[in-house]
Amino acid sequence: MTDFDAIIIGGGHNGLVCAGYLAKAGKKVLVLEARSVPGGCAATNEFVPGFKVSNCAQWLYQLSPAIIKDFKLKSHGLSFAAENLATIALDASENHLRISGDSLEGAGISSEDHENFRVFRRKMRKYAKLMQSAYEARPPKLVEHDWRDKFTMAKLGLGMKGLGKDDMSDLMRLILINIFDVMNETFASEQLRAALALDAVIGTPMGPRSPNTVFTYLHRFFGETQGFTGVSQVAGGLGALGDALSQSVTALGVEVRCNQSVTSINKTHDKATGVTLASGENLSASMIVSSADPVTTFRTLLGYSNVETGFARRIEHIRTKSGTAKIHLALTALPNFKGLDEAALKQRLIIAPTMNDIERAFNALKYDECSDHPALDISIPTLNDPSLAPPGQHVLSAIVQYAPHSPKAGWDSLRETFLDRVIGEIERYAPGISDLVCGKELLTPSDLEADFGMTGGNWHHGELTMDQVLMTRPAHGATQYRTPINGLYLCGAGSHPGGGLMGLAGKNAAQEIIRLGDAA
């Protein structure tokens, strides 16, 4: 007899979601989380005494409403401090652009661009809807002729046909090209182009001119099919989402243990049998489901010596680069952004004046250097949620594009310089902000890797490129959440459909495991 039916490695949102669905199916499930709190990248941290911030993911914009409903997350404490925020693209001459759903305000946007924007979004919505049929199911394999996969492919095919001839051929054209070209051919306003291009590259080690960035744009846009027309802010920080999920699945009978770092996955012949913890404790289960990224799962936890070489080689080849850092500032007062009132500061602010600025920022990453003028995605969460800081004081959090995982000079010597550089960038739009800073923190890709166990610090657990999605995510031999090892499954962002606090990888994995039944 085993201790559990299933042990889930990693109590991030995907691990918890998978655990919850398995518990609903009657399984006895244990979740092992290495960090002190559940939630993984849905985390809140007090980075300066009295100042809290969502210290990994910053926004929520893709979480499946089905998951919110299935786990009654709202009754387990999930509430939104703000929903569907507008994006305000900052302009040095205070001619800011406000983007909210289909509407554009300011920045002297021409009437043609207003119309272009509506048309563009209508088309993107159609494409996102098409992706939805693939994202909400296991990825189809092409050669096995399984009827479920044929059904998914047929749905995709019908969806393609349903786009109409023009939109279908345009999708085929767009999907492999880059957001830079698409923006140039679609809009006249550089400010608008840059604002949308930032969405395509954020969280990726790609620049606007990199091929594949239309796909990453669509991946983010997929959130619209989940009911998000903008980013949302979780009350109490994203850790509250982790807590709500953890509470909910605990109520379903799942045991969630934190501070339990798994050091190895144990197996006999080709069947996974359990895990060993850092404490030396061994736990057994009839199946092990890893929400750790695939490289960590196979290289570190299982060991390449335990899988066949071709498979090990494919896992080792998964590209897991990141160019994304986080910066957190504790502020003694609300900063003054030129030309923005308090209501505006509650929104999502971005600094990415032109696509060339983003591209230049990206150039540095290619040589493992930090951007001179990084592009920023800023949140002042305390305006929507004062509980995050002492009264009257504020927190500023920003996603920073681009910072390398391993700069040649090493992060020790660069950390302060880069922090100051980022603050300097914000200072151009918010004069005097540096005088308000009473605490600061930079999380580089290598910090995020160390704290959240993501290889390379890549927040998708493996880059979202055309060769690493759908039936090739994470790699041949580990698609459809199964692995070469019987009883070992994957349920994290490294599996289809990828990361972004969506929960679908965990959900799809659970469905697949439940469907396999006794064969699992």
CB of 511 to other proteins, least distance (A): 25
> Which of 125, 126, 155, 299: binder of other proteins (CB under 8 A)?
299
Which of 4, 311, 411, 429 touches other proteins by CB under 8 A? 311
Query: Rounded to the nearest whole angstrom, what is the least distance from the CB of residue 304 to other proteins in the complex?
Result: 3
> Is 306 a residue that touches other proteins (CB under 8 A)?
yes
Give least dist CB 282 to other proteins, A: 19
- Bridge partners, 95 (sequence order): none
In whole angstroms, the minimum distance from the beta carbon of 294 to other proteins comes to: 14
The DSSP output letter for 495 is S
Smallest separation (angstroms) from other proteins to the CB of 317: 10
- The answer to whether the CB of 92 falls within 8 A of the CB of 190 is no
- Retrieve residue 39's tokens: 């939630």
Q: Is residue 312 at the binding interface for other proteins, with CB under 8 A as the rule?
A: yes
Residue among 157 and 310 whose Cβ is closer to other proteins? 310
- Classify residue 483 as left (phi > 0), alpha (psi -120 to 50) or beta: beta
Nearest one of 44, 48, 49, 10 to 29, comparing CA atoms: 10
CB 57 within 8 A of CB 501: yes
Q: Taking the complex as a whole, how short is the minimal distance between the CB of residue 270 and other proteins, in angstroms?
A: 7
Number of neighbouring beta carbons within 10 Å of residue 127 = 24
Per CB under 8 A, the list member of 313, 319, 428, 515 interacting with other proteins is 313
CA-nearest of 416, 447, 331 to 378 is 331
**Segment near other proteins (CB under 8 A), from 195-203, 268-276, 356-364, 421-429?**
268-276
Minimum Å gap between C-beta 276 and other proteins is 16
> CA-to-CA distance for 440 and 424, rounded, in angstroms?
13
User: Of 211-219, 246-254, 308-316, 350-358, which segment contacts other proteins by CB under 8 A?
Assistant: 308-316
Q: What's the rounded Cα separation, in Å, for the pair 168 and 178? A: 17
- When binding is defined by CB under 8 A, the residue of 229, 253, 304, 339 that contacts other proteins is 304
Contacts of 368 (CB under 8 A, 6+ apart): 404, 405, 406, 407, 408
Please give the Cα distance from 188 to 410 (Å, whole number).
41
Stretch that binds other proteins, among 47-55, 262-270, 278-286, 419-427 (CB under 8 A): 262-270
Angle (CA) 486-490-496 rounded to 5° is: 130
Taking the least distance from each CB to other proteins, the nearer of 106 and 477 is: 477
Amino acid at 434: S
Q: Is 269 in the site for other proteins (CB under 8 A)?
A: yes
Q: Does 309 bind other proteins (CB under 8 A)?
A: yes
Q: Does 484 bind other proteins (CB under 8 A)?
A: yes
Q: Which is nearer to other proteins, 144 or 316 (CB)?
A: 316
State the helix-helix crossing angle for 190-201 and 355-366, rounded to 10 degrees.
30
**Which residue in 253, 259, 255, 265 sits closest to 291, CA to CA?**
265
- Distance of closest approach, residue 312 Cβ to other proteins, in angstroms: 5
Assess 424 for contact with other proteins (CB under 8 A): no
- Binding residues for other proteins, rule: CB under 8 A, are 268-270, 299, 303-313, 316, 477, 484
